[in-house]
Every structure is written in C-alpha cells, then in structure tokens.
A and B are shown apart, each in its own frame.
Chain A
C-alpha cells in the first residue's frame, strides 16, 4: 500500500489564534487558563550515572498544544516516556488528570494516548485488527469499542486501508495508524514523539492540521527538533538542553507577549527611553547598536498588537518616532541564544 494518499479534511493553514492556557516553568506559575491535564514537578531521570533529565517542571492544559523542543539527546523522549508510564521517574512527580504515574499508573495510563517515535506497530496485523486490539487493551468493548475504532478511522482517513496489512502500508499511513490507536479511547492527554519524522512535506502539513484538530478534545504534548514545525503547531514551547528546561515560550494567545522595534532620532534618545519605560504593559526596553542619526530600541510588550498604542503614546509625549513595528517572532533566535549561553556556561 504505497499508492497515493487521500487528503485529510483538516485545517491546512497555520495555527488559529485562540486563547492559550498558561504554562509555567515552575508549578507556582502554572496554569493561567484552563485545567492542567498533565503536571510535571521537579522531574529527574537517571540512566545509571547519567542524568538524562533534571528538575523539569511544567504543565500541559486542556485543549492546548505544547511542544518540547531541544537538540537530540536533550531529554525530550525521556520526559514523554515518564509521562506515558513507560519509564519510572528517578525523582519528582508526574500527574495525569490528577493521577500519579507511579502510584496510580493504571489510571494515569488510561488517560494518555501515546504515539512513540517511528510509529512502532505490529506489521503482521491488519489495520482494523490492530485498532480493535489496542482498544481492548484500553478496556473498550462492545459498542464503545466499535465507536472508538470507527471514529479514529474516520478522523485519520483510514477507511480505505482498514483491511490492509500494516507491514505493507506507506510511512504516512503507518503514522496515521499509530495516531489512530492513540486517540480511539479519547485520551485526556495525547503525547507524540517526533511525529513528523520521515513524512513528506504534504504529510507534514496534514499532520500539523490534524494536531490542531485533536487539540479540540485533548491536551497535546509533542516533541520535535524542528523549530519551524513547533512555531506552526504549538501554543507554547518548552526548550530543553541537556535534560534541563531552559524556558517556556508562548507562541499564541494573550500570554504570548511580543517584541517591537522603535526607531527615532538619536539626539532625543534619552527622552524616547524615558517615555518607553513609563508606558504601561512594557516588559523591557533594550537599546540596540546605534547607527547614524537614528537610534533603535527593542521593546518587549506583554501583548501582541501593541505597536499602534506605543506609537500613539510616543506621539503624545511629543516624540515623533520614525518607525514602530512588531518584530517577527523568532523562536530560532531564542533557541540559539538560550542553547549558546548554556553551552558557554
């Protein structure tokens, strides 16, 4: 089954803007919106003497896509495996919908759908047979099992390959089957490990839309080392390096924040700096390298779309700014800056 792949009826555009739930580096900063489905506190995991994950804390809230971002070996997969109950944490606690993954492992695992890296499946099974098997493993039976399988098949556009042997499916279909088995019991938390690996660009676009659709019903935690993918699909990204959480960066919603670039006459630099600092909703002002007769500032604001307000405020202060624009979100720059500074340390 390597023929043409039918298109999923999904949003193929970038992530829609919607209210984002909170995501704190520390539990105390936890959820600003929504209910935490997954809660990770001080997670540590050792493989022998090697500390793979150290002191990681975050939450994933309902109807939210959170990306775990980091270079290879940064601990992304280990964190997912602890969340799904495959690995036991060396320290810290992980709760899924309030159930501890160690003490109430059975309850916690029943609330998670997991798509491991490279979509491991039973190649000798047929698609329907596999989905029924996974449904029964999760305690579904009778009409509930049939409904779950039919719904998953429909959502993942698997109807044409229901009778196909999994081992003969294309990579894209195998990935869909892997996702279907993870959603057929309508989990509270859907966990995907590098789901775009090995997919062609069209399949990547379809998967991106699919993840957004799945986030309507579940909290979604997804790993990737591709920054552009995360920018398109996630509400927030948690950046990891060497098993430590460097930062959590909102990419959508009111908590996201934004950067503005303000340029004005250099001879009025002091007045501009003072005016900017006095404005409400300003998180930080940084003077950029001077150049010629114009000075430039990078202004961090709490909410996106603040450029007209800042320009108006400067105007009221008697300062005619030459330019007040929103700087493009730059996850790549943030990632490189954070990982470089950590590497220097």
Chain B
C-alpha cells in the first residue's frame, strides 16, 4: 500500500508539474463556461444537459493529452526501468497512473459544479439529470483514460500515443453513424459500442445498468491491456 500511495502521489505531482494539466483545465472551463452561459441565456432553462454533451466531447479531445505521456514518457526517459525493477506489480503502476489521471479529470469536471450552483441560486433545477450527468462523465472519463493508458503503454512516443488514442476515441464516439449503414442485427451490436449512444442516457437523466456495465467493462479491459502492454518486454 505504501508503494501504491507513493506512486499515486508521484503521478499527481508529475501531472501538475507539466503545463499540460493547467492548459487542459483552463481551456475546458472556458469552453464549458461559454457554452453554459450562451445556452442559459438562449433557452432560459435550468439544465446542464448541453454542458454535459460539451464536456463529453472535450473529454474525448483532452484525455489523450493527459494519458499520452503516462507511459510513453517513462519509457523514453528510461524511468520505466526504475519502476519495473522495483518490487511493485505492473497492476499497481497502471492503477496509480489511472487514479492520478482520474483525480485530475474529476477535479476538472467538479469545477463545473459552479454552474449547478448558479442554477440552484436562481432557479429550482431537476437534480436527477444533473447527478446522472456527472456520473456519466465520470464513467466516460474512466473508459477513455484506461484506453489512453493502454495505448501509451505500447509506445515510447507521446505524439503517437495521443494520435492513436484520439483515433480510437473518435471511432468509438462516431461508430453509431456507421452502425446505421449496417444490416440488422449487426447494427445493434455496433451501436452498442458507441460512446455517444452509451453516454446520452446519462446526460438526460436516464441510467441503465447496461450502459453502466459497458463503461465499467471498457475501463477494466483498457486497464488489462495497459498491464499486458507493460508486461510485454
């Protein structure tokens, strides 16, 4: 446990030493703040649905920037050798990076709770969709981070890690458009892989066990491949 906590602390510090974390958080908040204000003034509705969809798209774009360096930089700089020759399991190293990345992303998303506070101050919003929306963002972030870590564990080049992660995320995000062109029942199977289709119910206040299970399964699969990627040496 000592080793795991030391790894998490080191990863968190590494994230916030780099300017990437600050840039991602700043841009995320500016874009979401702008979207929230415009939507609020235009629709006069006390809802965060639009913010959740914007935030989900931004997670797809920004998560690769957070995960690309996780293993790729350690591999390139040789410090991965220090970690892997210490008496810690590969799983602990992966989980520590996952926990630190999630910590940073959840803190970033949590800052948008200000919008919910504004709605509560001037109106009486329906809290159900707000809770489910944040839960959906957390589940989506978990799935994206785990895939990003798996990709990063396979390369020593950060740019390659970012581009490949972005490609995978984009494909999983837009796969519902391809599903429409496929015959039944393949279209349903393919649609089931769509991050957008899985996230949409959370954003509007509907939670299904299947969507919950999907994000959890993708997260576990991503972490598994990240561990396998590290063990492949």
Q: Which residues of A contact B (CB under 8 A)?
A: 81, 84-88, 106-107, 109-110, 112, 114, 116-118, 120-122, 124-125, 133-134, 136-141, 181
Given contacts A84-B85, A109-B86, A124-B14, contact A133 B6 (CB under 8 A): yes
With both beta carbons as reference points, the residue of chain B lying nearest to A108 in the complex is identified as B87
> Closest Cβ of chain B: how far from A59's Cβ, in Å?
20
- Check B10 against A118 for contact (C-beta < 8 Å): no
Given contacts A122-B10, A133-B10, A136-B2, contact A112 B85 (CB under 8 A): yes
- Check B10 against A86 for contact (C-beta < 8 Å): no
- Check B89 against A114 for contact (C-beta < 8 Å): no
- The DSSP consensus for interface residues of chain B is helix
> Closest Cβ of chain A: how far from B73's Cβ, in Å?
10
Of the four ranges (under 10, 10 to 19, 20 to 34, 35 or more), the interface on chain B belongs to: 20 to 34
Expressed in whole angstroms, the Cα–Cα distance for A85 and B5 within the complex equals 22
Contact of B78 among A87, A118, A137 (CB under 8 A): A118
Expressed in whole angstroms, the Cα–Cα distance for A181 and B9 within the complex equals 18
Given contacts A86-B85, A133-B10, A137-B83, contact A120 B2 (CB under 8 A): no
Q: Tell yes or no: B44 within 8 A of A by CB.
A: no
Given contacts A122-B14, A137-B6, A139-B3, contact A109 B85 (CB under 8 A): yes
Given contacts A116-B82, A118-B78, A121-B79, contact A88 B10 (CB under 8 A): no
A181 contacts across to B, CB distance below 8 A? 82
Expressed in whole angstroms, the Cα–Cα distance for A136 and B83 within the complex equals 12
B73-109: which have CB < 8 Å to A? Answer: 77-79, 81-89
Q: A116-B81, A120-B78, A141-B2 are in contact. List 5 more A-B contacts (CB 8 A).
A: A86-B85, A88-B233, A109-B87, A112-B85, A138-B3
> Closest Cβ of chain A: how far from B123's Cβ, in Å?
45
> Closest Cβ of chain B: how far from A305's Cβ, in Å?
41
Given contacts A85-B84, A118-B78, A122-B79, contact A136 B6 (CB under 8 A): yes
Q: List 22 A-B contacts (CB under 8 A).
A: A81-B81, A85-B85, A86-B233, A109-B85, A109-B86, A110-B87, A114-B82, A116-B78, A116-B81, A116-B85, A120-B82, A122-B10, A133-B6, A136-B2, A136-B3, A136-B6, A137-B3, A137-B87, A137-B88, A139-B2, A139-B87, A141-B2
